[in-house]
Amino acid sequence: MHHLRLSVYRILETSSGKRRGFSLAFNIVLITIITLNAIAIVLHTVPEYNRRFTQLFYDFELFSVLFFTIEYLLRIWVCVENDRYRHWFWGRLRYLFSASSIIDILAIFPFYFTLFATDLAIVRILRLFRIFRLFRISRYSHAFRMIQRVVTDKKEELILSMTFVVFMLIIVSSIMYYVEHTAQPDKFSSIPATMWWGVSAMTTVGYGDIHPITPLGKLLGGLAAIMGIGLFALPTGILVSGFTEQIRNQKVTVIRRCPHCGKEIRDV
């Protein structure tokens, strides 16, 4: 039983650089199904396609859910082969609350819930959760894994920079509310309503639905736009440095050699 579980674990969890045989075939099949699910979710919203291929969409959804359910149960069964989830009970319980497991359950939960749900509004909302299947592809994509590593390594800097952006947004919106409220009480009706203007101004999008008309308000709006360019460049610079470090670390490879024969040691 242990050898069977270990074999299944290697097929499900083998990293991209070590894929061989069944593991490679399984990863290709899984990525294909996830990609087709994304296409089906998009096309399902087209009324013409939805009418013509209703049964096809449902059959493919049923097949996908059964496939993902079996895969999810297999992952729970074999997760004890990972040192982080070694205990047969507590390890599996810990795995259930891991980020990858939560994404997996969110990808299949809506289908089972809608079998018993009667509220159509809830059903429509839960169907949106099917898009979480796209996040599963991050396990098999080198680019997605690099993004995850960069965000994880730079999370403190990103949180600090985004916190500073939020603080400045609140300050700018509060000042603009008191400047423009008298002239435009319907547009700048409150600070939360003014924050919509603050977001469009600081990101330099400028939708134009809300804009200052007083001289002081226009001056503040210009300063907010200039300041926003610099503020939103902070997380961009942090991410760029993170990607640079990751790429540099990948290029610096250490070749391990056998101390007896001197041949290069390769991971199996």
Q: Express each pLDDT in 26-45 by its tens digit.
A: 878 888 888 888 888 888 88
H or E element that contains 96:
helix 90-96
Q: Are 2 and 86 in contact (CB under 8 A)?
A: no
Q: What is the number of alpha carbons within 13 Å of residue 91 lying toward its C-beta? A: 14
259 is a domain residue = no
Please tell me the distance from the alpha carbon of residue 185 to that of residue 206, in angstroms, as a whole number: 20
pTM for the complete prediction? 0.62
Report residue 142's pLDDT band, with 50, 70 and 90 as the boundaries: low
Q: Residue 17 corresponds to which tokens in the numbers above?
A: 């650089």
Q: Do residues 203 and 86 share a domain?
A: no
Strand, helix or coil for residue 264: strand
pLDDT in tens, 146-195: 887 888 888 899 999 999 999 999 999 999 999 999 999 998 999 999 99
Strand, helix or coil for residue 134: helix
- Out of 82, 112, 140, a domain closes at 140
User: Alpha carbon of 220 to those of 174, 187, 194: distances in Å?
Assistant: 11, 16, 13
What range does the domain containing 174 cover?
155-251
Instruction: Assign residue 170 the CATH number of its domain.
Output: 1.10.287.70
Report residue 268's pLDDT band, with 50, 70 and 90 as the boundaries: very low
- Residue matched to tokens 């226009």: 218
Q: Do residues 213 and 92 share a domain?
A: no
Q: Do residues 166 and 89 share a domain?
A: no
Report residue 138's pLDDT band, with 50, 70 and 90 as the boundaries: low
